[in-house]
């Protein structure tokens, strides 16, 4: 046989022997599970290095959002970032809201009876007390410090009552046990008390307090499958009805392009997030894919506020005139286009434009913002333009057509309300007021050096924010400032804590979303927590900025209850202080392009039915399970 013919035969035989059976075996993403009973969700943590670790109470040892916190764990309360199944506040393991004494040094919790762990043991107050005592005892456990600083003693007078005595007044102590993404999860006393060292215990296989139990998991950390409990009625989620999916599969689908392909192939029901371009592709090509908004801008606005954060310990940014000047050099429409391709929900104020915040803060403050005056040193200007959201919508309408809403309320919900007018002349006046000088085309600092600003961005790990930072740098450069993009990549977290930046694209504002109280982030902005230069700053006041008026306001919030109507007034006062001082330049909500495939499941949360946050790594997303119905 000629050489060529022999070679062809060998190659053909190899192809038949290896490729064809392998291709045949490739059919079906999930083996041995009914696809129409399985909800497949992305776990954005990716592939988990130590896959068999389920002890979430150890610091950062294993996965959190592999279904563990969404499907198997529970705690006292949840606050929904949107509207909630039956209201924003959910009593979960607690039967009612926390009961504080007059001076907030004692908190009593009434627990819900009839809740069971997946191994048949009843949940009681002993589990709560054990969780607190064990965490305090082991300082390397995740919530040890938070509990140790607050809890003086804990009493369990009966199986459904827990009384915390606190070391100092804390009107927000319950927040530690209230889910906003996560919270302190309750430990199964009957499991952990038999373990020698709770820090080194892997909790594998986990005993569940949620409506699902672990069914199977990948030793290589790519997927986890949870099965609905037979006794789902004996869980807190069960009080809302039977969860739809029999199985939940939390998977690592790979990089964004593969998430898009996987959903087009109906192998990924819920994408956590993709780049705007991926979203647009799915909107165009996958008829079964839906997102939070029916049309543009699609994404779910998380209660997180990306901003340009100044390092207030840097001499150049100590002047609010400089900070305001830099804000007035930004064209937010261009930033919206560059970052989210227009699919951004902008905010001029230091509160995310999402959940219940627009009705609590953005809308009532529109007139105040419209009338707000800024003294440039030469004149007074009114910098706010309440029509910028509308202008972004108008800009997008020629290319996006009917997908752009025309109702002003819908436009404000999708694109945000107003923002600051780009005003280079006023910016120049403010710079001069602060002692800066323009030499030729370049700005110089009061001591005669070129005004250089390094804007730190994260890089490819967060492309949308990186594009926003790059656009702002470009706009500042055009105005004569020596601005530079500084790509931090994996060092961002370390540099942010160390204050190693002039300005930074990140966020120091995170809120409950569904509740007006701002203490979730605002308490950390008190001057008592500002670290000296060169030492690590605790979250979240990355700008290392403080103000006596804000301190007084934070102290006032500490002395009122969580639901006290005064909290809203104080919250609005914070907004006004932040507008006057501009310690950070708020940009937009953190829009998450969560995309849901309706091929197998219907009933996903959307802007039209905002019963919860669809973003699947949030523990709050468990609400979705009881509303999902199999299609057909």
Partner 1 sequence: MPSYATYLAQRFGQFLLVVFIGINLTYIITHATPIDPVEQSIAAVTSFGNTSPEAIAAMRQSLRELYGLNGAPSEQYLAFWRRIVTADFGPSLSAFPTPVSSLIARALPWTIGLLATATVLTWALGNLLGGLAGYYQDKISLKVLAVIAMALHPVPYYIVAFVLLVMFGYLWPLLPIAGGYAINIEQGFNLGFVLSVLSHALLPALSLILVGLGGWFLGMRALTANIVGEDYVVYAELAGVDRRRILGSYIMRNALLPQVTGLALSLGAIFNGAIITEQVFGYPGVGALLVAGVYAGDYGLVLGVATVSIIGVSAAVLIIDLIYPLIDPRVRTV
Q: How far is the CB of 157 from partner 1 (least distance, A)?
A: 27
Q: How far is the CB of 438 from partner 1 (least distance, A)?
A: 35
Nearer to partner 1, 139 or 382 (CB): 139
Cα→Cα distances 184→76, 143, 483, Å:
9, 7, 42
| Residue among 210 and 221 whose Cβ is closer to partner 1 | 221
CA–CA gap between residue 383 and residue 475 (Å, rounded): 18
Gap between the Cα atoms of 391 and 423, Å rounded:
17
Q: Which is nearer to partner 1, 374 or 492 (CB)?
A: 492
- Closest residue by Cα to residue 159 from 211, 202, 113: 113
Nearer to partner 1, 151 or 392 (CB): 151
Q: Which residues contact 572 (CB under 8 A, 6 or more apart)?
A: 361, 364, 365
Q: How far is the CB of 392 from partner 1 (least distance, A)?
A: 28
Q: Which of residues 245 and 389 has its CB atom nearest to partner 1 in the complex?
A: 245
For the CB of residue 220, give the shortest distance to partner 1 in the complex, in Å: 4
Cβ closest to partner 1, residue 61 vs residue 468 = 61
For partner 1, the closer CB: 279 or 348: 279
Closer residue to partner 1, CB minimum distance, 46 or 159: 46
Residue 203, SS3? coil
Helices 408-415 & 388-400 angle (0-180, nearest 10): 90
Shortest distance (Å) from residue 316 CB to partner 1: 23
Shortest distance in whole angstroms from residue 118 CB to partner 1: 19
Burial of 575 (0-12, 13-18, 19+ CB in 10 A): buried
Shortest CB 9 distance to partner 1, Å: 14
CB-CB contact of 44 with 130 (8 Å):
no
Give min distance, CB of 171 to partner 1, in A. Answer: 13
Q: Which residues pair with 482 in a beta bridge?
A: 452
556: left (phi over 0), alpha (psi -120 to 50) or beta: alpha
| Beta carbon nearer to partner 1, 20 or 439 | 20
How distant is the alpha carbon of residue 611 from its chain centre?
Answer: 17
Q: What are phi and psi of 73, to 5 degrees?
A: -110, 165
Shortest distance (Å) from residue 217 CB to partner 1: 9
Nearer to partner 1, 154 or 427 (CB): 154
Cβ-based nearer residue to partner 1, 62 or 514: 62
Tell me whether residue 444 or residue 540 sits nearer to partner 1 (CB atom): 540
Q: Tell me the closest approach of the beta carbon of residue 53 to partner 1, in angstroms.
A: 7
Contact yes or no for 213/226 (Cβ under 8 A) = yes
Using H for helix, E for strand and C for coil, what is the string for 404-472?
CCCCHHHHHHHHCCCEECCCHHHHHHHHHHCCCEEECCEEECCCCCECEEEEEECCCCCHHHHHHHHHH
What are the helix (H) ranges across 453-547?
Answer: 463-478, 492-498, 519-522
Our CB check for partner 1 shows the closer of 49 and 552 to be: 49
Pairing of the two strands 178-179 and 38-42 = unpaired
Is the CB of residue 113 less than 8 Å from the CB of residue 94? no
For the CB of residue 390, give the shortest distance to partner 1 in the complex, in Å: 32
User: Using an 8 Å Cβ cutoff, are 89 and 515 in contact?
Assistant: yes
For residues 206 and 524, what is the distance between their CA atoms, to the nearest angstrom?
Answer: 34
Shortest spacing between CB 175 and partner 1, in angstroms: 5
Residue 83 per-residue DSSP state = S
Please state the closest distance from residue 292 (CB atom) to partner 1, in A. 18
List of residues 6+ apart from 307 with CB closer than 8 A: 350, 505, 506, 507, 508, 509, 584, 585, 586, 587
Tell me how many degrees the CA angle 247-275-609 measures, rounded to the nearest 5.
55
């Amino acid at each position: 046989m000629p050489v060529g013919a022999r070679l062809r035969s060998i190659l053909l035989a190899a192809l038949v022997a290896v490729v064809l059976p392998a291709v045949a075996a490739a059919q079906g993403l999930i083996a041995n599970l009914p696809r129409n009973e399985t909800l497949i969700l992305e776990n954005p943590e990716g592939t988990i290095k130590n896959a068999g670790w389920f002890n979430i109470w150890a610091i950062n040892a294993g996965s959190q959002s592999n279904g563990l916190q969404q499907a198997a764990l529970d705690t006292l309360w949840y606050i929904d970032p949107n509207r909630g199944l039956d209201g924003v506040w959910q009593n979960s393991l607690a039967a009612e809201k926390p009961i504080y004494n007059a001076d907030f040094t004692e908190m009593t919790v009434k627990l819900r009876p009839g809740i069971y762990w997946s191994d048949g043991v009843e949940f009681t107050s002993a589990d709560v007390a054990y969780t607190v005592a064990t965490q305090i005892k082991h300082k390397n456990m995740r919530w040890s410090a938070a509990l140790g600083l607050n809890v003086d003693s804990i009493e369990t007078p009966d199986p459904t009552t827990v009384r915390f005595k606190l070391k100092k007044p804390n009107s927000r102590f319950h927040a530690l046990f209230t889910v906003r993404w996560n919270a302190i999860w309750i430990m199964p006393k009957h499991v952990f008390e038999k373990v020698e060292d709770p820090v080194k215990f892997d909790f594998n296989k986990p005993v569940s307090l949620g409506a699902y139990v672990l069914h199977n998991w990948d030793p290589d950390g790519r997927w986890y499958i949870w099965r609905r409990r037979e006794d789902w009625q004996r869980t807190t989620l069960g009080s809302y009805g039977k969860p739809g999916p029999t199985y939940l599969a939390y998977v690592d689908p790979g990089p964004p392009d593969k998430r898009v392909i996987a959903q087009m192939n109906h192998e990924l029901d819920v994408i956590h997030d993709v780049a705007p371009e991926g979203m647009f592709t799915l909107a165009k090509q996958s008829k079964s894919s839906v997102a939070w908004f029916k049309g543009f801008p699609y994404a779910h606005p998380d209660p997180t506020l990306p901003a340009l954060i100044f390092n207030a310990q840097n001499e150049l940014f100590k002047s609010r005139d400089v900070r305001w000047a830099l804000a007035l050099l930004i064209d937010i429409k261009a930033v919206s286009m560059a970052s989210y391709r227009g699919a951004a929900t902008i905010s001029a104020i230091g509160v995310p434009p999402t959940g219940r915040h627009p009705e609590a803060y953005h809308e009532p403050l529109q007139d105040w913002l419209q009338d707000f005056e800024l003294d440039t040193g030469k004149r007074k200007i009114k910098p706010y333009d309440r029509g910028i959201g509308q202008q972004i919508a108008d800009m997008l309408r020629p290319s996006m057509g009917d997908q752009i809403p025309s109702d002003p309320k819908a436009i404000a919900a999708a694109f945000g309300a107003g923002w600051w007018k780009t005003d280079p002349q006023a910016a120049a006046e403010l710079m001069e007021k602060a002692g800066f000088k323009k030499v030729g085309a370049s700005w110089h600092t009061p001591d005669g050096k070129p005004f250089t600003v390094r804007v730190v961005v994260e890089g490819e790990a967060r492309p949308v924010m990186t594009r926003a930072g790059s656009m702002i740098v470009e706009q500042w450069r055009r105005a004569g400032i020596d601005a530079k993009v500084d790509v931090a990549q994996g060092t961002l977290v370390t540099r942010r804590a160390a204050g190693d930046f002039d300005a930074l694209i990140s966020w120091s504002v995170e809120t409950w979303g569904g509740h007006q109280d701002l203490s979730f982030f605002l308490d950390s902005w008190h001057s008592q927590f500002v670290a000296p230069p060169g030492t690590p700053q605790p979250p979240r006041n990355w700008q290392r900025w403080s103000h006596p008026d804000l301190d007084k306001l934070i102290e006032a919030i500490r002395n009122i209850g969580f639901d006290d109507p005064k909290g809203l007034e104080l919250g609005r006062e914070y907004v006004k202080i932040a507008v006057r001082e501009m310690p950070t330049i708020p940009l937009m909500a953190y829009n998450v392009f969560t995309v849901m495939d309706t091929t197998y499941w219907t009933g996903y949360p959307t802007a039209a039915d905002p019963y919860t946050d669809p973003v699947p790594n949030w523990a709050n997303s468990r609400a979705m399970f009881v509303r999902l119905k199999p299609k057909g």
